Amino acid sequence: MQEQQKRKTSSLSLLNIAGVKPYKEKPGEEYMNKIQLQHFRKILNARYRQLKDEVGRTVSHMQDEAANFPDLVDRAAQEEGFSLELRNRDRERKLLKKIEKVLRKVEKNDFGFCDLCGVEIGIRRLEARPTADMCIDCKTLAEIREKQGMV
C-alpha cells in the first residue's frame, strides 16, 4: 500500500513540476487529440528541463567538493559518493535521450500507443511514466521474459 502511495505521489509531483493537473477526459473525446498532446508536451518538457538543471548542479557540486584528502578512508568515501552521483547522472542522461525521442513522437502525433501491439497506453499510465512506450500488458510480458532470461 505504501509503495502505491509513493508512486501516486511521484507521478503527482511530476505533474506539479510541469504545472499541470491530472488530465480529465471528456466523454467521447478522441484519444491523443491536440489538447492531450499539449498536456504531455508540457510534462515532458518540464521533466527535461529538471534533468538538465540537475546535471549542471552535479558538475558544479563535484568541482566544488573535489578535495585531495590525505586520509584514505575519506578519499574513498568521496570517490564512492562521486561514483554513485555519476551513475545516477548516466541514468538521467539516458532518460534525457528517451524524452527527446518521445517528444519527437508527440510532434509526429505518434505518441501514446504501444510500440509492440499498437493499443492505447492510457492517460493515467502516461502521466505516471510519460516515456512509456508499451501498454501495461506488453510491458508485463517483457518483464516476465526478462526475468526468465529470454531477452
SS3 114: coil
CA separation for the pair 129, 139 (Å, rounded): 12
CA separation for the pair 42, 140 (Å, rounded): 28
pLDDT tens-digit profile of 10-39? 566 888 888 899 999 999 999 999 999 999
What's residue 66's pLDDT?
65
pLDDT tens-digit profile of 86-114? 888 889 999 999 999 999 999 999 999 99
Q: Is the pLDDT of residue 7 over 50?
A: no
Region 119-140 average pLDDT: 96
Q: Exposure string (b/e) for 110-122, b if CB count within 10 Å is 16 or more? A: ebbbbeeeeeebe
pLDDT tens-digit profile of 69-89? 778 887 788 888 888 888 888
What's residue 13's pLDDT?
84
Alpha carbon distances (Å) from 24 to 20, 53, 106, 127: 11, 30, 19, 12
What phi and psi, each to the nearest 5 degrees, are found at residue 92?
A: -70, -35
